[in-house]
Structure 1
Amino acid sequence: MAGREQHGDGVRRRRVVLFSLPFQGHLNPMLKLAALLRARGLGVTVLHTGFNAPDPARHPEVDFVPIHETLPDEATSPDSDILRKLLALNAACEAPFRAALASLLRGGGGGHRQDVACAVVDGQCYPAMGAAAQLGLDEPVPDLEPLRVRDLIRVDGCDTDELCGFVASVADGVRASVSGIVINTFEAIEASELAKIQRELSLPAFAVGPLHLLFQTPPAEQSLHEPDHGCLAWLDAHPPRSVLYVSLGSLACVDHGAFEEMAWGLAGSGVPFLWVVRPGSVSGAGDEAPPLPDGFEEEIRGRGKIVKWARQREVLAHEAICAFWTHCGWNSTLESICEGVPMLVQPCFADQMVTARYVTHEWGVGLEVGEVLERGTVAKAVTEVMAGEDGAQMRERAHRLQMQASAATSSAMDSLIRFILSL
């Protein structure tokens, strides 16, 4: 499409439309990509749901357009599992996404059809990918090492056939609808995987990450929780590489038994720790912050800090942090790699299983907490990653990856811009 957006300087810009799942771990990379595209001279429109909507005031140079979806309770309830959420969101967003995108292409909202070069759609929004293709726009075995069967994408408690159907729909949507794939990664850690994507799908794959390192001044984060502003001051009072940071991200949750084993394992390890216990992080607790076990706060007084949310990148960059207990969401994993911080891995669902296996067995920068949490095993794993010989070796490898991440250039972003302008 050949037109360009008119600006005060008389230059017309090609426009990119972005659409993400309404979860923090999906929205933040999408908004970083939006800012980078905008900084490279492209117009950017973000289509978004009303649920967990981004704050336009934090991104004044980006246009935000709601799709006006109506979501069922299972898409938004903290007690519904992730597969239920994904299926409900995809079903509910397909028609309103199509209508909003069609309106943009007709010139609704101040745009013009010829301004839009392409749409970048979240890889798990397969109906949206199909809708973009049908409207004239495009948007992600034999050899699976180092993965095992248990590392493949799964959601415990969900119907296996439904999950396989969802994954197949995503793959079919990619093959049928997209012109290229944008991935928040870098060649040094996933060169063979990127080559396999390009070979098997016959599509260009743009490894544009780590996105958050490409800014001199990073844009505002989309956060669903107010961060505790005392975290950094608390860390300042601790020696270098002495504190374990614990966070299972913005969406993952554990059952009450696992939560208690985490707590008493941390207490039994004897190490200082900063633990993010956000509302909704324990299944069945709804939107409330789960109560800590009786006697736990007395046991860890002066050694542990519990917060509802933290500014994770700032925490990971702090010299007091020694290791990161993580669910292996991709944003958390990449941020840990970029700060040279080794990981304790506790994947909860979906692609986190795959990422955890790469962290521990491909890159060698992490240690498994254990698929079944038990306080004694937890304490042993924490002690090993913080002070053991394996932990020291993982820290050295994490530092090497940090150097490679810092050396990643914007050449893939340059290639992506050229590709967009060629559409």
Structure 2
Amino acid sequence: MHEHFRYIVCRSRNQVAGMEKQYLKLVLVLYPFQGHINPMLQLASVLHSHGFSITICHPQFNSPDPSTHPHFEFIPLRAGFTPQNAFKSLTEFLKILNDKSRTPFMDTLVQIMGKEEQSACHVIYDGCMYFAAQVANELNLPSFVFHTFSAANLLRYLAYPHLRQEGLIPIQDSKLLEPVPDLDPLRFKDLFLVSNEDLDAWLNLLSSFCDIKSSSAMIFNTADLLEQQPLKILKEKFQVPIFSIGPIHKISPPIFSSLVEEDTSCISWLDMQTPNSVLYISLGSLNFLNDTELTEMAWGLANSKQPFLWVVPPEKLGGSRSLDSLPEGFEEAVGERSYLVKWAPQKKVLAHGAVGGFLSHCGWNSTLESIGEGVPMICRASYGDQKVNARYLSHVWRVGVELEKGLEREKIESAVRRLMRDEEGEGMRKRALDLKEMIRICVGDGGSSSESIAELVKLIMSSK
């Protein structure tokens, strides 16, 4: 069957070879969650601006709105798979998503390559959708993996097999605060903690996730200045080009990719605040607060006496509750120095002069958006790559305060005061502004990220 597919591909390429007008189609494969959708569509916009034809393949849930991207073609992968299916773990979810998406993606590529007017086709896939590389390889198509997280996070994943061989995982509670060998500044608690029964499945998944033998290159939404050492290690380890093209949102034309409607009224409220006075709070699209955490967060913010803009999506409050779930007396305590929304236009908020700090879950997009605007952070990491990012923010770039060991009002109040009022926070703000300027140079003409995109475009064109 695969020989038949190769025949279709070769026939299509030969037919187009004699045509006067050729074009190169890029097929981008989305991992269907907000933190992955945003950078992939931003990369698509950048590549489209270089003349490539863009097709977006995506699962049938959390689908982007095609009307906001009229220059792209969107093709759903009809796999009968939704997040509402019962899954025991993230490991199981990712494995089944990849297994079920494989055949629909194969069919989609065959249809694309069978079109007479079509020229060469390349695949760019989110690293979590590793099935796409396997399919592209079977069809003899070039593929490129796009990691929407940091280079340091990939190093963490690559370390697991060795850590297990050395008997360091499963992780003992007594070692949680100890440094991980060769992963400075990470501690064992910053790793993705996996139960004993899930460890084999997790390591098998990582083997597929980290296997890029069939890919032509690796792309990272990061900047050389932020991750010089992790990128150096990866370039020594992998025998393919590695492109650091971030922060991609600083290079991409403006796009709208939010899965939730943004409340822009908060910008008018920010306009009335003094410079650097407002703390912005958003814990991301996949985090939620239980009743106790919500109460502690609310009173910690209230007791800090600092103006704040708080994103409180009702569905992330541990159920179908509303903002009325906030503790009694909270509204009276904060008065007009607070503004609450269900979702905010985050990049505009962070770019606003009134915002002086960001209490965040430290997803990689939020991290880059905050650093890109010179805004220091309070780090409340929960899972995934968030703990890695929080550690780098606080101990490498030194523009963040770590908020660990649960949410307690006293710790929240203390962290807010440290960042927004104390001399320590002033130092972080200065370093954050220095990073902002370096990133501006990095994404500008002749900067390392802009040059990396130019080299990526050359590689894509040369491998068609």
Q: TM-score, normalised by structure 2?
A: 0.82
Aligned positions, number: 410
Please say if residues 5 and 15 of structure 1, whose CA atoms lie closer than 8 Å, have aligned partners that are also in contact.
Answer: no
Measured in 1, the distance between the counterparts of 2:286 and 2:205 equals: 19
Task: Report what 1:45 is aligned to.
Answer: 55
Please say if residues 260 and 293 of structure 1, whose CA atoms lie closer than 8 Å, have aligned partners that are also in contact.
Answer: yes
Other structure's SS at 1:51 match: coil
Please say if residues 263 and 344 of structure 2, whose CA atoms lie closer than 8 Å, have aligned partners that are also in contact.
Answer: yes
Distance 1:386 1:111, change over 3 A: farther
Query: Paired residue for 2:208, among 139, 144, 169?
Result: 169
Please say if residues 60 and 81 of structure 2, whose CA atoms lie closer than 8 Å, have aligned partners that are also in contact.
Answer: no
Alignment of 1:33 with 2:77, yes or no, is no
Measured in 2, the distance between the counterparts of 1:120 and 1:52 equals: 19
Alignment of 1:139 with 2:144, yes or no, is yes
Task: Report what 2:104 is aligned to.
Answer: 96
Measured in 2, the distance between the counterparts of 1:94 and 1:295 equals: 53
Q: What letter matches 1:35 in structure 2?
A: S
Measured in 2, the distance between the counterparts of 1:289 and 1:125 equals: 36
Q: What letter matches 2:205 in structure 1?
A: F
Point out the more displaced range, 200-209 or 129-138. Answer: 129-138
Query: Paired residue for 2:399, among 365, 372, 386?
Result: 365
Q: What letter matches 1:16 in structure 2?
A: L
Task: Report what 2:215 is aligned to.
Answer: 178
Point out the more displaced range, 134-143 or 255-264. Answer: 134-143
Query: Paired residue for 2:356, among 299, 322, 330?
Result: 322
Question: How far apart are residue 83 of structure 1 and its match?
Answer: 4.8
Which blocks of at least 5 consecutive residues in structure 1 are unaligned? Answer: none
Distance 1:376 1:84, change over 3 A: farther
Point out the more displaced range, 30-39 or 147-156. Answer: 147-156
Measured in 2, the distance between the counterparts of 1:230 and 1:379 equals: 26
Task: Report what 2:174 is aligned to.
Answer: none
Query: Paired residue for 1:123, among 121, 127, 133?
Result: 127
Query: Paired residue for 1:241, among 271, 276, 285?
Result: 276
Query: Paired residue for 1:299, among 310, 314, 333?
Result: 333
Distance 1:74 1:359, change over 3 A: same
Structure of higher CA gyration radius: 2
Task: Report what 1:389 is aligned to.
Answer: 423
Measured in 1, the distance between the counterparts of 2:411 and 2:185 equals: 24
Q: Please list, as runs of the form range in 1=range in 2, the aligned pairs for 1:198-213 lying within 5 A after superposition.
A: 198-213=235-250
Other structure's SS at 2:340 match: strand
Question: How far apart are residue 280 of structure 1 and its match?
Answer: 2.7
Question: How far apart are residue 164 of structure 1 and its match?
Answer: 3.5
Q: What letter matches 1:271 in structure 2?
A: Q
Please say if residues 123 and 132 of structure 2, whose CA atoms lie closer than 8 Å, have aligned partners that are also in contact.
Answer: no
Point out the more displaced range, 29-38 or 119-128. Answer: 119-128
Q: What letter matches 1:265 in structure 2?
A: G
Task: Report what 2:260 is aligned to.
Answer: 225
Q: Please list, as runs of the form range in 1=range in 2, the aligned pairs for 1:325-404 lying within 5 A after superposition.
A: 325-404=359-438
Measured in 1, the distance between the counterparts of 2:423 and 2:13 equals: 59
Measured in 1, the distance between the counterparts of 2:383 and 2:200 equals: 16
Measured in 2, the distance between the counterparts of 1:97 and 1:46 equals: 11
Task: Report what 1:23 is aligned to.
Answer: 33
Measured in 1, the distance between the counterparts of 2:186 and 2:236 equals: 20
Which blocks of at least 5 consecutive residues in structure 2 are unaligned? Answer: 1-9, 146-158, 160-180
Measured in 2, the distance between the counterparts of 1:279 and 1:83 equals: 27
Question: How far apart are residue 81 of structure 1 and its match?
Answer: 6.5
* Backbone CA RMSD of aligned residues: 2.6
Question: How far apart are residue 104 of structure 1 and its match?
Answer: 1.8
Distance 1:369 1:250, change over 3 A: same
Question: How far apart are residue 286 of structure 1 and its match?
Answer: 5.3
Task: Report what 2:286 is aligned to.
Answer: 251
Please say if residues 4 and 15 of structure 1, whose CA atoms lie closer than 8 Å, have aligned partners that are also in contact.
Answer: no
Task: Report what 2:71 is aligned to.
Answer: 61
Measured in 2, the distance between the counterparts of 1:277 and 1:84 equals: 29
Distance 1:149 1:229, change over 3 A: same
Please say if residues 370 and 378 of structure 1, whose CA atoms lie closer than 8 Å, have aligned partners that are also in contact.
Answer: no
Point out the more displaced range, 325-334 or 144-153. Answer: 144-153
Please say if residues 245 and 324 of structure 1, whose CA atoms lie closer than 8 Å, have aligned partners that are also in contact.
Answer: yes
Post-superposition Cα deviations, 1:87-129, rounded to whole Å, max 9, x if no partner, equal 443343233223222322233xx863x421x211101112222
Q: TM-score, normalised by structure 1?
A: 0.89
Distance 1:195 1:148, change over 3 A: same
Question: How far apart are residue 229 of structure 1 and its match?
Answer: 1.9
Task: Report what 1:417 is aligned to.
Answer: 457
Distance 1:262 1:200, change over 3 A: same
Question: How far apart are residue 3 of structure 1 and its match?
Answer: 5.1
Measured in 1, the distance between the counterparts of 2:295 and 2:329 equals: 11
Measured in 2, the distance between the counterparts of 1:246 and 1:157 equals: 35
Q: What letter matches 1:170 in structure 2?
A: F
Q: What letter matches 1:222 in structure 2?
A: S
Question: How far apart are residue 5 of structure 1 and its match?
Answer: 12
